[in-house]
Amino acid sequence: MTAVAFPVPLTSPVVLAPMSGITDLPFRRVVASFGAGLVVSEMIASGEMVTARPSRRAASRARAEVDADVPTSVQLAGRDAGAMAEAARIAEGQGAPIIDINMGCPAKKVVGGAAGSALMREPDLALRLIEAVVGAVSVPVTLKTRLGWDGDCLNAAKIAQQAEGAGVRMITIHGRTRAQFYTGSADWAAIAEVVEAVNVPVLTNGDIDGPEAARAALAQSGGAGVMVGRAAQGRPWLLAQISAALYGTPAPVVPEGAALVDLVAAHYEGMLDFYGRELGVRIARKHLGWYIDAAGGEPALRARLMRESDAAAVLAALPQALEPWRDAA
C-alpha cells in the first residue's frame, strides 16, 4: 500500500463515530474540545431533510448543523438517489466539510426501510447512491460500511473498490456483519482485505475502547486510523487519549472533581440550549448516566437523576453525583 491522503487535513486519524441520538452538536463540541481528528454527526435520514413535514425537516437539518471550527462529517442515510443528492447539497450548504454515506447501520428500523447495511445486499443500488452524492457536492464524500450482510455475504472489499472508483475519499469499516449487530467481537483482521483493495484511507471501527485496543486494531487491519464510538460515552476525552498514545498529540487533562462537574454542567446546559429545556432535560439523561457511571457515582442518586425533570435540581446534584461512591457495607 502506498501512503494515503485524508479527504481533509486531520490533526490525527482518531475519529468519533456517528451514533444515533448521541453524536449531536453539543456532544461533538465536547469531544472536539479535548481533541479529535474528526467528529461525525448522528445518522440523518435523507428523505426527512428533503421531503418530510416542516417540523421533522427542521429537526433533521438541525442534526446536520456544524461548527466552522470543528472538523465534522455529516452522515446521511437513505436509498433514493435523488433524496440523497439533495440532502448532501443541503448539508454542504449548511457548512458540512465532509459528507458521509451510511451503509453500516444494523438497526431494524433502518434496514427495514432497505437503507443502512441493507444496501450491502444491493451493491448496484449502493453504487448509484454513491455516484449521486459525489456528483451533487464539491466537498469530499466518505463511506461507512460493515464487513457484509452476514457470513455468506462478505463484500466490503468489492463495495469499497466501487466506491473508490466513484470518487469516495475515505472508507470506514465496522468489523462485524449486519447479522452480528454488536454481538461477539469485532474482526479487525478481516478489515485488512478492504485496506489492500483500495488506495484511499480506511478507518478501523468496532470495540476500540482505549489506546491498547486502538493499537491492536491498527496492527491487525493495517488501517490508516480508528473510529471510536460507544467507549466515548461518558468519556469525551478518550479520543484525545488514544491520539496522544498513538500519534504523539497533546495528552488531554482528564477532568476530576470540580473540573468534571464544570464539564458535565456545561454539556448539560448546552443540550438545554440546543433542544429547548423540556426536551433537552430528557435527551440529556443518557449522557448524565454515562458520566456518572464513568465517575463511579452513587447508583441511587444516578437513578433519581434519570427521572429528574428540574434542570436546576440536576445541576445542583452534580457535585455529589460525580463523586466516586464507596459502599459503606
Q: How far apart are CA 6 and CA 244, in angstroms?
A: 19
H/E run at residue 144: strand 141-148
* Residue whose C-alpha is closest to residue 239's, from 322, 229, 42, 248: 229
In the 8-state DSSP scheme, what is residue 325?
A: P
* Residue whose C-alpha is closest to residue 74's, from 106, 55, 102: 102
* Residue whose C-alpha is closest to residue 58's, from 92, 90, 102, 101: 90
Q: How far apart are CA 102 and CA 244, in angstroms?
A: 28
Asked whether the beta carbons of 160 and 143 are under 8 A apart, the reply is yes
Is residue 170 classed as helix, strand or coil in its secondary structure?
A: strand
Please indicate whether residue 105 is annotated as part of the active site.
yes
Bridging pattern class, strands 141-148 and 98-103: parallel
Contacts of 248 (CB under 8 A, 6+ apart): none
Bridging pattern class, strands 170-177 and 141-148: parallel
Contacts of 313 (CB under 8 A, 6+ apart): none
H helix intervals, the chain: 25-34, 46-50, 54-63, 81-93, 108-112, 123-136, 156-166, 192-197, 211-221, 238-247, 258-275, 277-295, 299-305, 311-321
H/E run at residue 99: strand 98-103
Contacts of 152 (CB under 8 A, 6+ apart): none
Q: Which three cell numbers stand for residue 327?
A: 459502599
In the 8-state DSSP scheme, what is residue 286?
A: H
Catalytic residue, candidates 43, 49, 76, 105: 105
Any idea which residues carry the catalytic annotation?
105
